[in-house]
Amino acid sequence: MIYTVTLGPSLDYAMEYDRIEIGGLNRARTAGLTAGGKGINVSKVLTHLGLDNLMLGFVGGFVGDEIERQLSAGGYESEFIRLESGVSRINVKARAGFDTTQLNAPGPEIPRSAMEKLETQLARLKKGDFVVLAGNIPEGMPDYTYSSVMEKVSAKGADVVVDASGNALLSTLSMHPFLVKPNREELEGLFSTKIRTREEVDKYALELIKKGARNVLVSLDQEGALLACDHGSILYQAAPEGRLVNPVGAGDAMVAGFLWGYCSAFNGEASEEVFREALKCGVSAGTASAFSPGLASGDDIRAIRRRL
């Protein structure tokens, strides 16, 4: 079973423009509200690929009601914890051509009592399960929130995937997450540097392994992705050519695709061949989503996987 944790789910208000004039009146050509958040996106793609999963996290107010309504109507499984006060976020995604401007709102306060309910949910975990901790830590919560959750998860023998940035990611490394997934910009931020070559990506991915990560998946946009494994291998997979439509959510789809490939290929031994298949499937899912107006379907992901 795969559990995804989204501490701050949102409704994403996506609008498309021919062009955007800062400070002027802009009229959208299209607009739509979609339940989002990094963990939710991962779960959606897992469901498209036929993998059992459950969304966990916190929702509040009328926005939380709509998030749960949309997900239920879409056939996605969730067990969100209702907050006694506060309203879940509405984030704005304004797209003009290939450029997307994202305006993300702060989420509601998450009290300790709500975190204890999440920990109770995670008590059902068992060896062989995966937990995906995705997204930034909400304002007001400590940077070590994910590492605190990992303490409970690791005791159950489950594996953890962390898709976060900055101190939220760094704080988990001592707990040896199964996989961390920074993109190039996030990797640069972790080491306060500018990465210009593939060799530098290799170098800093291996630094994260030295700090405790078991495997490091670095998404490189249209270039594909790199996977550094704790057994010493560095694998690279180029992305196929195609028309970029919407890159939002492609990194989340990559996490889902990686887990799909890993679970499909795993036969009791985490060999290099298993990780190579996971990488190919991750790039397939990320690419398929970037080539789609929304998160990719399972059929689109499988079609690209057959090309790699």
- pLDDT on residue 269: 83
What's the burial of 138, exposed, middle or buried (CB within 10 Å: 0-12/13-18/19+)?
Answer: middle
The answer to whether residue 15 sits within a structural domain is: no
Phi/psi of residue 240, nearest 5 degrees: -70, 160
> At a CB cut-off of 8 Å and minimum separation 6, what does 155 contact?
none
Find out whether 228 and 234 touch, Cβ atoms under 8 Å.
yes
Return all residues near 85 (Cβ < 8 A) that are at least 6 apart. Answer: 60, 108, 109
pLDDT digits (tens, 9 = 90+) for 125-151: 999 999 999 998 988 899 999 999 999
Report yes or no on 169 lying in a domain.
yes
Residue 23 belongs to a domain: no
pLDDT value of residue 140: 86
102 occurs within a structural domain? no
In a domain, 18, yes or no: no
Cα-flanking dihedrals φ and ψ of residue 224, to 5°? Answer: 110, -135
Unique residue bearing structure tokens 């499909």: 264
Amino acid identity, position 213: A
Which position among 12, 163, 252, 300 bears the catalytic label? 252
The CATH number for 149's domain is: 3.40.1190.20
Is residue 243 one of the residues assigned to a domain?
yes
| H-helix segments, the chain | 38-48, 61-73, 112-122, 145-155, 166-170, 184-191, 198-210, 250-265, 272-290, 298-305
129 is catalytic: no
List all residues 6 or more positions away from 75 whose beta carbon is below 8 Å from its beta carbon. Answer: 47
In a domain, 194, yes or no: yes
Measured torsion, CA atoms of residues 193, 146, 252, 1, in degrees rounded to the nearest 10 = 140
Per-residue pLDDT of the chain (308 residues; tens, 9 = 90+): 999 999 999 999 999 999 999 999 999 999 999 999 999 999 999 999 999 999 999 999 999 999 999 999 999 999 999 999 999 999 999 989 878 899 999 989 999 999 999 999 999 999 999 999 999 898 889 999 999 999 988 888 999 999 999 999 999 999 999 999 999 999 999 999 999 999 999 999 999 999 999 999 999 988 999 999 988 899 999 999 999 888 889 999 999 999 999 999 988 888 999 999 999 999 999 999 999 988 999 999 999 999 99
For residue 283, which phi and psi values (nearest 5 degrees)? -65, -40
Q: How many domains does the chain have?
A: 1
Length of the chain equals: 308
pTM for the full predicted model: 0.94
Q: Is residue 25 assigned to a domain?
A: no
Domain boundaries, position 235: 2-8+37-89+108-305
